[in-house]
Amino acid sequence: MILFTSVMAMRKGKLRRMLIRSVPIETERLVLRNIAPGDVYDMYDYASRPEVTEFLLWESHANIDVTRGYIESIDRRYLRGLYGDWAVELKENGRMIGTCGYANVDSSRMHCEIGYVLSPDYRGKGYMTEAVKAILELSFLTLGFETAELRIMQGNARSAALAERVGFRLDRICRDEITVRDIPRTIMHYLLTKEEYLSRKN
């Protein structure tokens, strides 16, 4: 048991260091990087909209101070490692248009849960598909995860379509799995294994 615990600690420490070194990530049109205090107005612009948070666990930001406080908490979590929810910056204008990264990381199972949010102003242009593909490449080819998961609230057709577009398959549906704003919500669990990813990529 002591040896097993030691191995797990070493794996977690290595993964933490790799996560910290992973950003920035550049794609054709985007840069994925740490969220910074200067992003406060761009983030508030979309995080304050009810249509953005309809299928998310968090409430719309009531004012810009909420956004500022959230960004400060993110900075502290970056420093602790094993957290990678990154700003999605549009190269052409430097605007932060959303976030994409890890909602959860399980180093013992080498499993990750990916999360993303996109400003409605930039929907329909393939930006989030591009960002998620970059995260999948990082997950399987660099960090060595064995499985990746997306948890999507039933009714979120845009997110479900994105999941299938990048190779995820519907693994299970859990009725009334969580309660959000006093409403029981059914969650669709999408899964992608490293083997499936490599087969699709090749």
Q: Is 44 a domain residue?
A: yes
Please classify residue 111 by burial: count the beta carbons closer than 10 Å to its beta carbon, then call 0-12 exposed, 13-18 middle and 19+ buried: middle
Residue 3 pLDDT: 38
The mean of the pLDDT values for the chain is 92
Q: Is 33 a domain residue?
A: yes
How many structural domains is the chain composed of?
1
Q: Is 178 a domain residue?
A: no
Q: Is 177 a domain residue?
A: no
DSSP string covering 103-134, please? Answer: EEEETTTTEEEEEEEE-GGGTTSSHHHHHHHH
Residue 10 has pLDDT above 80, yes or no: no
* Residue 50, amino acid: P
Q: How many CB atoms lie within 10 A of CB 10?
A: 11
CATH of the domain at 65: 3.40.630.30
Contact 135, 101 (CB under 8 A): yes
Residues 166/51/71/177 CA torsion (nearest 10 deg): -70
Contact 162, 100 (CB under 8 A): no
Q: Is 17 a domain residue?
A: yes
For the stretch 127-142, what's the b/e string if a residue is b when 16 or more beta carbons lie within 10 angstroms of its beta carbon?
A: bbebbbbbbbebbbee
Please classify residue 61 by burial: count the beta carbons closer than 10 Å to its beta carbon, then call 0-12 exposed, 13-18 middle and 19+ buried: buried
pTM for the model = 0.92
Q: Is 81 a domain residue?
A: yes
User: Domain range for residue 61?
Assistant: 2-144
Polymer length of the chain: 202
Residue 4 pLDDT: 35
Q: Is 170 a domain residue?
A: no
Q: Which residue has the higher pLDDT, 19 or 70?
A: 70
Residue 168 has pLDDT above 80, yes or no: yes
For the stretch 151-163, what's the b/e string if a residue is b when 16 or more beta carbons lie within 10 angstroms of its beta carbon?
A: bbbeebeebbebb
Q: Is 187 a domain residue?
A: no
The tokens for 42 are 């761009």
| Digit-coded pLDDT (tens) for 75-132 | 888 877 656 899 999 999 999 999 999 999 898 899 999 999 999 999 999 999 999 9
